[in-house]
Structure formats: C-alpha cells, structure tokens
Amino acid sequence: MKKVVYIILFLFVNLTNVYFSQDKVDVYLDKFKNSKEDTNKINLAIKILDLQLDDDRINNLEILLNAENTAKKVNFKKHIIFNRIANHYLNISKYKKATEYSLRLLKETKILNGNEKYDYEGRASEKLASINSNLGNISLAIKNQTDAINSYKKIKGDTYFYVAYINLANFQMAANNIEKAIYYYEYVERNLIKEENYTYLTYVYNGIASCYDKKGNKLKSIEFYEKSKNAIIKYTPDDLSSLAVSYNNIGENFNDIGNYSAAIYNLSEAISIFKRLNDQLSLKDSYYNISLAYRNLNQYKQSNDFMMAYMELKDSIFDEDTKKTIHDLSIKYESEKKEQENKILAKDNEKKQLSLYFSLAAIILIFIILLIIYRNNRIKARTNILLEKQNKVIEEQKELVEEQHFLLEEKSKEITDSIKYAERIQGAILPPEQKWNYILPNSFILNKPKDILSGDFYWIAETEDRIFVAAADCTGHGVPGALISIVNFNLLNKAVLERGLSSPSEILDAVNVWLTESLNQTTHESSIKDGMDIALISINKKNGQVLYSGANNPLYIFSNNELTEYKADKFPVGAYANEKLNNFSTKEIQTKFGDTIYLFSDGFADQFGGENGKKFKYKQFKESLFQAKDLPIEKQKDFLHKKYREWRGKLEQTDDILIIGIKI
C-alpha cells in the first residue's frame, strides 16, 4: 500500500469556471465577431473566456490569439491576455509555449501598479514554478515559488498566500531539504489554526508526516498521520477513502517500530472501511500488513487467517466464473479446430502448417491452464484441511505452521513455473522478431505484459500488394486475456490469409461476427462480453497509402513535425452494443517518406505513477511521443520504456502495455 503523503496545489484566479447559459456565450461571440472597436473586442474576448466551459480549447485559443494581436496593437490589457494564453498552454502540457507567455506576462507587469502588479507577478512566477516542477527542475521551481510568495506578501488578504507556502514546502521536500519543508508546513499550520481556516490542514499534516518518514523518525511520522486522520474526521468526515488510507499509514508505521498491537488496531480500522468501499486492491495490502503484525506477536492462527484472505484476493483470477468461462472456451476451441482442419485441406502446405500450428498451440495452452487450476484447487484443499487441524493445537504446533507456510511457497512456485511455460507457448504464437523485421525493418515493438500471460498482442500479415499491422487489447489480462487473444489472432489470419479481405473495416466486421458467434454472444445477452479493442492498418506497398480502422484504439501519425490523431469507432470487436451489430469505418491516410505511425493499447496512458500516483493519460503520452519522434526508430523504444519506468516508480503495473512504431 503506497502512503498518501501530500497534494501539490497550483491555483490560478482564472482556473475557476463560472457556468452561464450557452445563449449568453453566443451573444458575446456574435458581438466579438462584429465589433469594430479594438478595446471593446478585447473586453468581449475576456468575457467569453470567463463564461465558456473549457471544453473547446481550439476555439478558445483562436479567440485568445485574436485578442493578443488586438491587445498588442492598441496596448490594452496585454497582461490579462498573456496570462490566459500561458494558462492554456500549461493545461495542455506545452511547457515551451507556457514558459514563453509566462515570461511575457512577467515583463508586462513592470508597467502595472498597485495590487494588480503584485497579483500578476505572483501568477507568472507560480506558473514558472509549476512548469519547472513538471520538467524536474526543482531548484528553479523553488526560486520561482519564492518569487511568487514575495509578490503575494505585498497584497493584503490574498487568498493564495498559504497555498503558495504549501507548494514551496512540497518543492523543498522534493529537493530533500527536509528541515526547510517542515519549517514552511509549520508556518502555514500556525496561521491556519490562528485564523480558524482548516481547509488545507490535512495537506499540511500529510506533508509533515512524509518529511519525518524520510528522516526515519517513525514516531513523529505517526504523530502527524494521526493529526491528518483527526482533521479528516472533524472537517471532512465523508472522505472515507482518505480516512482508511490514514489508518493504514499509521498501522504500517507501527509495524515498522515493532508496536504490533497498535498496528493491528489501525489496520483493522482500515480493513473495515476498505470493505465498505469495496476497495479490493487496498484491502489486499492491508490483509498482508496485519498478517505480519499477528505473526510477530506469535498469534499464528490470526496470521494464517489474514494471510489466506490475502492469497484468496490475490488469486481471485481463478474464481468459479473464470473456470466456467475457460471450460466453455475449450469446447469452442475444439469445435473451431475441427472446422479449421476441414478448410485447411484446400490450402497450400504453408498455410496448412501455419493454421495447424496455431490450433495446436491453443489446445496446449488450454490444457496447461486447466492443469494449473486443478493443481491450485488441490493445494487450497490441502491447506484448508491442515489449517483446521492446526487451529485446535496452534500454540503447541508452531513448527508445523511454519512448515505449512513453506509448502504454500513451494506450491506457488510450481504454479508460477507452469504459467511461465504457458507464456513461452503464447510467445511462439506471436510473430517472430525475424519475420517482423523482414517485413517492417524500420519499426519497433514495446510489449510489457502486466502478468506473465497477456491480453495484448501484436499481429502482422503480408500479401502480394499490402502489409497488415495491428495492435490489439483483449478483455482482461493474464490467463483470460491470453485465451481471448489466441482466438482473435487466429480470426485475423482467417480474414486476411484465407478470405483475402484487404479493407481494415471489412476485416474487423468479419472478426466481429466470427468472435461473437464463437462466444455465443447475442444482442440480448450480456453475460459474456469478451471482446477486443484494436488499431488495424493496411499499407499499400506501391504508393504508401495507409487504410486505418479502429475499435476504441486511435492511431497517431507524425508528419511535418505535427501530430495528427485518427479517432477510432467507439465500440469493441466481438461485443454487441446498443442492441445492434455495428459496422466499422475505414479512414484513408496518404503518407510520405519520413512520417511515423504509432499504434497502441491503453496500458501506457492508464499507468498510475508520478509524485501523486495519478494516471499518465493521453496528453502526456502524446508529449512523450513528440519528444521521441526525432530519435532513430530503434532508440524510440528505449526512450518510451525509460519514460514508463520513471513514471511508474515502485507502483504496480496497471495493465498490459503495447506500442508499435513504424517509420515510412
């Protein structure tokens, strides 16, 4: 369980949206377009941006740039326009442009007077602090934040003053200046309590607790996590998730200092709340922590109970529904294999061997998975019998309990070894590196399964005049995802190599029908919705034209130093939506020499990480691709892999990750 430490708050005056009717926005837009007076046009632009929701940033940017030209022309309210444009670029992570306009704003404040001068000085400095923090320049972020505070100090009653100090403390802690960070946190704490303003107390206490944790002072860390917990109870009692995390943080620290009784109390509170919230991931880690505490107190029965609860959550992938699905799939695979064998008789030898290989590999993989489930059930049955006997004489038979732990570890290793063997079989089904590099020598594949087996897969096929490439993400990951991926891999081969389909939309329409029939899905049945998100392209060998179809997965292409996104159809392959069968669309893309195409699943953008444990998201993913685009294609894979590792840190991998890059 990761510890919740602090939240960095960057607040700007114009970031609060005021909701007005669209009719009023339209009136101002009409006046803006028809206005002949420059100063009136600038005032109208500012009103439009105050009223309009930030869901159309392109239009907003057009209005801002129009207003900027007018403001420069008549020298009127340039600082307000520069501030708005800087915020726009900061919101979309274009840090170079955000820095340029923040510096313009800072220069413009020199001709302002009074509180307005100091207010906009502080805004410009805080934006620069935010930019440098995001770029990893912590020392510059500290300097910028200090400049912002010095400007805000000159404005009496400024509402951002204490938030600015909290940000400065966070930067000092990131720079490992622990004593300075504590000094600023405590300064804010004293003033908030004095003014009876408790809005930011939990952030302050979490920050101080994190500082003492870094110093290794567990007792002081516990003290301030307790204060954070009490602040939540008193001021935000509905925030149950934060309350549970506080209890867990306190329990972990008590475990670290050997106060196991206190650890058990706090972890029990955390478990109770996590159960209410149905937070299975956090609950699993709390089970593990409390099991360790009971074990250190030599209370082996309780330790075993919680360890078994931990293992059951961890092994939940092997529940009854999954077993039934695997059983049904194995029957469908057998039927499909026989049908495939009948069709293979009419094909040439090469296609016979290829199709037979895929079918046999699928059967072997299913056999191994069923064997794993059988052995896992036997292990659990034996473990339950032994635990019942041990409960009666637990204090007299500690050695027997320890032997049972060892047995569980050995059996777990056997299961892992079996799954790794299944991984080798799944790897053999994917296109070999030699074949891929022969067809597309100027490309890369970044493939990182979450578990040993993967629901993501990459696919390539070649005909006389076309090359087909796909990046696919099947339902789930691990064993269920791997099973669905094998079915979809075979169906793509069937569509191209057997049926001779060449249009990506026709290929996906065919696979959609075949997969739905294979899993017995209907428009009135929602019990099995196993499907596939995919980005599929067809490359014309003669003229370089690219045809693209996608199910939920878009396609990016860099051309002339600009990134263009081609959006996918918003429904998956193999699962009916809206009570009807949807047809996929095809988009034509005329490429030229030097363009780069990227196909991917959602795993990279959905990865949690960074300082606050948030998702990477597609905005940062696009920025990463932009940073990598000028590198040699083989170096781009290393760059993206390094970016992923730095972002994830010590957190668990969220999903399977797959990125394909192709240089035209």
**Per-residue model confidence (pLDDT) at position 527:** 44
Q: Are residues 449 and 575 in the same domain?
A: yes
3-state class of 62 per DSSP?
Answer: helix
Joined together, the tokens standing for residue 344 give 């293979």
Question: For the chain, how are helix, strand and coil distributed in percent, rounded to 5?
Answer: 65, 10, 25
CB 481 within 8 Å of CB 610: no
Strand pairing of 614-615 and 608-609? antiparallel
Q: Are residues 454 and 416 in the same domain?
A: no
**How buried is 298 (Cβ within 10 angstroms: 0-12 exposed, 13-18 middle, 19+ buried)?**
exposed
Mean pLDDT over 418-437 rounds to 72
pTM for the structure as a whole: 0.42
User: For residue 15, is pLDDT > 60?
Assistant: no
350 lies in some domain? yes
Confidence of residue 275 (pLDDT cuts 50, 70, 90): very high
Q: Which of 149, 175, 201 is the last residue of a domain?
A: 175
Q: Are residues 332 and 440 in the same domain?
A: no
User: For residue 526, is pLDDT > 70?
Assistant: no
* Mean pLDDT over each residue of the chain, to the nearest integer: 79
**Per-residue model confidence (pLDDT) at position 56:** 42
**Per-residue model confidence (pLDDT) at position 37:** 59
**Per-residue model confidence (pLDDT) at position 451:** 80
User: For residue 18, is pLDDT > 80?
Assistant: no
d(CA 620, CA 514): 36
**Per-residue model confidence (pLDDT) at position 65:** 72
Mean pLDDT over 248-252 rounds to 89
**Per-residue model confidence (pLDDT) at position 16:** 35
Q: Are residues 597 and 651 in the same domain?
A: yes
**Per-residue model confidence (pLDDT) at position 640:** 94
**pLDDT single digits (tens) 396-413:** 656 666 666 666 676 666
**pLDDT single digits (tens) 30-62:** 555 555 555 665 666 666 665 544 444 445 667
Q: Angle at CA 224, nearest 5°, toward 219 and 227?
A: 130
10 lies in some domain? yes
What is the DSSP code string of 242-258? HHHHHHHHHHHHHHHHT
Question: C-alpha 385: how far from its chain's center?
Answer: 41
Number of domains in the chain: 3
State the residue range of the domain holding 350.
Answer: 317-426
**pLDDT single digits (tens) 191-227:** 888 888 777 888 889 889 989 988 889 899 999 989 9
Confidence of residue 314 (pLDDT cuts 50, 70, 90): confident
List the end-to-end C-alpha distance of the chain, in Å, as a whole number: 44
Q: Are residues 519 and 557 in the same domain?
A: yes
Mean pLDDT over 635-657 rounds to 91
78 lies in some domain? yes
3-state class of 500 per DSSP?
Answer: coil
Joined together, the tokens standing for residue 429 give 């089904």
155 lies in some domain? yes
Residue 661, H or E segment: strand 657-663
Q: Are residues 422 and 450 in the same domain?
A: no
Mean pLDDT over 418-428 rounds to 63
Q: Are residues 531 and 631 in the same domain?
A: yes
Mean pLDDT over 636-652 rounds to 92
Question: C-alpha 209: how far from its chain's center?
Answer: 27
**Per-residue model confidence (pLDDT) at position 541:** 87
Percent of the chain beyond pLDDT 70? 72
**Per-residue model confidence (pLDDT) at position 22:** 47
**pLDDT single digits (tens) 335-364:** 554 555 555 555 555 666 666 666 777 788
Question: C-alpha 230: how far from its chain's center?
Answer: 31
Query: Higher confidence at residue 153 or residue 20?
Result: 153
Q: Which of 175, 208, 229 is the last residue of a domain?
A: 175
Question: What residues contact residue 398 under an 8 Å CB cut-off, 6+ apart?
Answer: 298, 300
388 lies in some domain? yes
d(CA 118, CA 109): 8
CB 538 within 8 Å of CB 500: no
- Name which of 233, 211, 235, 241 is nearest 223 in CA terms: 211
Q: Are residues 333 and 466 in the same domain?
A: no
Q: Are residues 21 and 83 in the same domain?
A: yes
Joined together, the tokens standing for residue 516 give 């739905």
Question: What residues contact residue 503 under an 8 Å CB cut-off, 6+ apart?
Answer: 538, 547, 549, 586
**Per-residue model confidence (pLDDT) at position 645:** 92
162 lies in some domain? yes
Q: Are residues 443 and 421 in the same domain?
A: no
75 lies in some domain? yes
**How buried is 618 (Cβ within 10 angstroms: 0-12 exposed, 13-18 middle, 19+ buried)?**
middle
CB 529 within 8 Å of CB 575: yes
**Per-residue model confidence (pLDDT) at position 72:** 67
571: CATH: 3.60.40.10
Lowest mean pLDDT among 4-8, 141-145, 277-281, 292-296: 4-8
d(CA 154, CA 283): 48
